[in-house]
């Protein structure tokens, strides 16, 4: 009687033909679910003649494994069928949808343009570390421990390394280069810098600068001005205007801040330039003789100029982006809009 029932179930399972996922699920519940119909047969074990119990057990196991195997098989077949079904109606000769190629980050585009402009007049690329020591970032640049100018730049120090910090400006590369190369020196140093600043639409705790340094005999302020004008015209077109405002930096004397005239054509221009049309893009000056001395260069023989420009601001201007935070969010929808060959 029990054997017959098991035999019957086995045939039933073998002959079952679920046609779709719902029927397959019904199959699973019936034969493999927690209340499946094979289970009660196991509890009849006690009623079976002891001599036949082993065979009965084997039989029931066979019923169970057959159901499992069949379910696995049917599942694969149905999935295959569904896939073929969904492929029907697809035109295999149609061109594929456009794939998105990566695009350059606006900061990268602007930085590469700056590098290229200066390389055309002989400035070599000098890259250096972002984790810098106090000497190269401050002391060599004429900003000793108690110098008030240190307050100008809120610094991130490395907690467990007394002398190490995240560089606050690319001017640290000036010290790296001057202590390892002999004049004439003509370098451009791009890179990321960090300052402990509140993040807002106009400032961020990380940003990019490009530093320039030119040391030779008889370098004058006129050379500096001419170089900057050349830069502005290459970057912003032949009509670009710049103005230099006297300023103060510990590592240059005299020092100036450089504004580029952007004009006031759109709302965004007003906002970015605070309604003046002028935007400050860099600091510059003649390298302070003390800095040369600190780095082992004789100020009696050599002179030089230096400048350090912010990249984000120029990217905001170029692409009329209103908020600097967009540059660091990595939002694909924003980034996809930028194209450049370099
Ligand atoms: N390091 C300055 C800053 O981050 C910018 C700067 C000013 C760099 C004058 C220079 C320079 O090389 O000569 O604010």
Q: How far is the CA of 296 from the centre of ligand 1 (A)?
A: 20
Ligand 1 binding pocket (C-beta < 6 A) is 169, 171, 211, 249, 252, 255, 283-285, 306-308
Q: Which domains does the chain have, with CATH numbers?
A: 2-87 (no CATH), 106-338 (3.30.930.10)
Residue 215, strand partner residues: 185, 304
d(CA 308, ligand 1 centre) in Å: 4
Span from the CA of 149 to the centroid of ligand 1 (angstroms): 12
Ligand 1 mean position, distance from CA 4 (Å): 94
**Number of the ligand 1 atom closest to the C-alpha atom of 193:** 4
Question: Rounded to 5 degrees, what are φ and ψ at 29?
Answer: -65, -40
Structural contact between residues 222 and 209, judged by C-beta atoms closer than 8 angstroms: no
Structure tokens at 175: 């010290």
- Ligand 1 atom nearest to 285, measured from its CA: 13
Measured over the CA atoms of residue 175, residue 179, residue 182 and residue 188, the dihedral's sign is: negative
Residue 325 CA to ligand 1 centre (angstroms)? 23
**pLDDT at position 337:** 87
Is there a contact between 200 and 220 (Cβ–Cβ < 8 Å)? no
pLDDT in tens, 60-114: 999 999 999 999 999 998 888 888 877 777 888 888 887 777 788 999 999 999 9
Q: How many other C-beta atoms can be found within 10 angstroms of the C-beta atom of residue 103?
A: 15
Q: Tell how far the Cα of 38 is from the centroid of ligand 1, in angstroms.
A: 82
Taking the C-alpha atoms of residue 188 and residue 119, their distance in angstroms, rounded to an integer, is 8
pLDDT at residue 175 tops 90: yes
pLDDT of residue 15: 92
* Substitution candidate for ligand 1 out of 204, 207, 213, 307 with most atoms within 8 A of CB: 307
| Average of per-residue pLDDT values in the chain | 90
Tokens linked to 226: 């001419």
Ligand 1 centre to CA of 233 (Å) is: 21
Q: Which atom of ligand 1 is nearest to the CA of 168?
A: 4
Residue nearest to atom 4 of ligand 1 (CA): 169
> pTM of whole model > 0.85?
no
10 Å Cβ neighbour count for 31? Answer: 22
For the segment 290-310, the average pLDDT, to the nearest whole number, is 97
Burial of 40 (0-12, 13-18, 19+ CB in 10 A): exposed
Yes or no: say if 281 and 256 are a contact pair by the CB < 8 Å rule. no
Give the distance, in angstroms, between the CA of residue 202 and the centroid of all CA atoms in the same chain: 19
236-272: pLDDT as tens digits = 989 889 999 999 999 999 999 999 987 777 777 777 7
Q: Which atom of ligand 1 is nearest to the CA of 170?
A: 1
- Residue 191 Cα, ligand 1 centroid: separation in angstroms? 13
Which residue's CA lies nearest to atom 13 of ligand 1? Answer: 284
Cα torsion 125, 296, 309, 221: sign: negative
Confidence of residue 45 (pLDDT cuts 50, 70, 90): confident
């Amino acid at each position: 009687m029990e054997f017959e029932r098991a035999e019957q179930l086995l045939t039933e399972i073998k002959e079952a033909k679920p046609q779709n996922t719902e029927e397959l699920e019904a199959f699973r519940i019936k034969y493999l679910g927690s209340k499946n119909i094979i289970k009660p047969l196991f509890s009849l074990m006690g009623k079976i003649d002891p001599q036949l119990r082993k065979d009965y057990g084997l039989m029931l196991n066979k019923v169970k494994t057959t159901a499992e195997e069949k379910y696995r098989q049917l599942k694969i077949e149905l999935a295959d069928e569904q896939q073929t079904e969904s492929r029907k109606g697809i035109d295999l000769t149609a061109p594929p949808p456009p794939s998105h190629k990566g695009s350059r980050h606006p900061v990268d585009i602007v930085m590469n343009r700056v590098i290229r402009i200066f390389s055309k007049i002989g400035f070599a690329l000098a890259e250096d570390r972002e984790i810098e020591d106090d000497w190269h970032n401050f002391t060599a640049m004429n900003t000793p421990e108690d110098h008030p100018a240190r307050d100008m730049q809120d610094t991130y120090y490395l907690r467990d390394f007394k002398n190490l910090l995240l560089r606050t400006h690319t001017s640290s590369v000036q010290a790296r280069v001057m202590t390892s190369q002999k004049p004439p020196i003509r370098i451009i140093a791009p890179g990321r810098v960090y300052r402990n600043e509140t993040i807002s639409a106009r400032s961020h705790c990380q940003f990019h600068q490009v530093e320039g340094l030119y040391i030779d005999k008889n370098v004058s302020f006129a050379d500096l001005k001419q170089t900057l004008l050349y830069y502005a015209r290459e970057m912003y077109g032949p009509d670009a205007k710049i103005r230099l405002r006297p300023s103060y930096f510990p590592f240059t004397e005299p020092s100036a801040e450089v504004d580029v005239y952007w004009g006031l054509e759109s709302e965004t221009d007003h906002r970015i330039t605070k309604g003046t049309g002028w935007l400050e893009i860099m600091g510059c000056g003649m390298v302070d003789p003390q800095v040369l001395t600190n780095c082992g260069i004789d100020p009696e023989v050599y002179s030089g100029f230096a400048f350090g420009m912010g990249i984000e601001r120029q990217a905001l201007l170029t692409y009329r982006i209103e908020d600097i935070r967009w540059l660091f969010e990595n939002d694909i929808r924003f980034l996809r809009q930028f194209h450049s060959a370099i």
